[in-house]
Amino acid sequence: MRPPFDPTLYLVTDTQLCAPRPVADVVRAAVAGGVTAVQVRDKGASRRDLLALTRAVQEAVAEVPGVAVVVNDAVDVALLAAADGVHVGQEDLPATEVRALIGPRRLLGLSVSSPAEIAAALALPTGTLDLVGVSPVWGTPTKPDAGPALGLDGTRELAAAARAGGLTAVAIGGIGADRAAEVAATGVDGICVVSALCAAADPASAARKLRRELSRGVPAE
Ligand code: TZP
Ligand code: MG
């Protein structure tokens, strides 16, 4: 029912960190280097600009099959752009309401930062959520208000609970190539990065490096 979603290396866009390059150019290069999914996130953009940005990102990933494009927060924009999914935080529209709006054929992700939040996510009706973003692994200037760092142990705990409940778990917050392998080793399905790719001088080679580090860290099944 849902579009394919490969969580291995999930790029979350930041327009300011990509500048002066257009976000779509950074996305195109990062996808060529091994990014497997993209979330369009721009807190400052108008809905009109976010829609245009989403369409530009969709065009940028079109050359590589199977790269999902998810919109942060803006359900209307996701529907208008026929995006693959929506990602919401704890303060956004409730996940059950978002699911009612987007129907069964789109992905829905929710950010979780504590055992209580993952428990609440797992208590939602089956089929509401597809994935959770476990955050923040570490403090990050990209989102200074992200809350206390979970560290590797907290990340492992929340990811294990999510996976036991049938959800995909991705980790976000302060992850660069230097620490990607240790995050992968916690058992998450993938990592989300913003600055490691958006602020990279060469996003394609930065993505290749992240993919190499991730395969070093993947625990034996
Ligand atoms: N949610 C939790 S931390 C974060 C978001 C969007 C920002 C992560 O940015 P970076 O640059 O990968 O640390
Ligand atoms: Mg949000």
| CA angle in degrees (0–180, nearest 5) for 136-180-114 | 25
Q: What ipTM is given for this predicted complex? A: 0.98
Q: Under a CB-based contact definition with an 8 Å cutoff, are residues 185 and 174 in contact?
A: no
**pLDDT tens track for 168-213:** 999 999 999 999 999 999 999 999 999 999 999 999 999 999 999 9
Helix, strand, or coil (residue 135): coil
Phi, psi (rounded to 5 degrees) for 64: -105, 115
Residue 7, pLDDT > 70, answer: yes
pTM for the whole structure: 0.98
Mutate to test the pocket of ligand 1, among 41, 110, 140, 170 (most ligand atoms within 8 A of CB): 140
Atom of ligand 1 nearest to the CA of 193: 12
How do residues 97-149 score in pLDDT, each as one tens digit?
Answer: 999 999 999 999 999 999 999 999 999 999 999 999 999 999 999 999 999 99
Residue 111 annotated to the active site: yes
User: Does residue 146's CB lie within 6 angstroms of at least one atom of ligand 1?
Assistant: yes
Q: Is 113 annotated as a binding residue?
A: no
Annotation marks residue 105 as catalytic: no
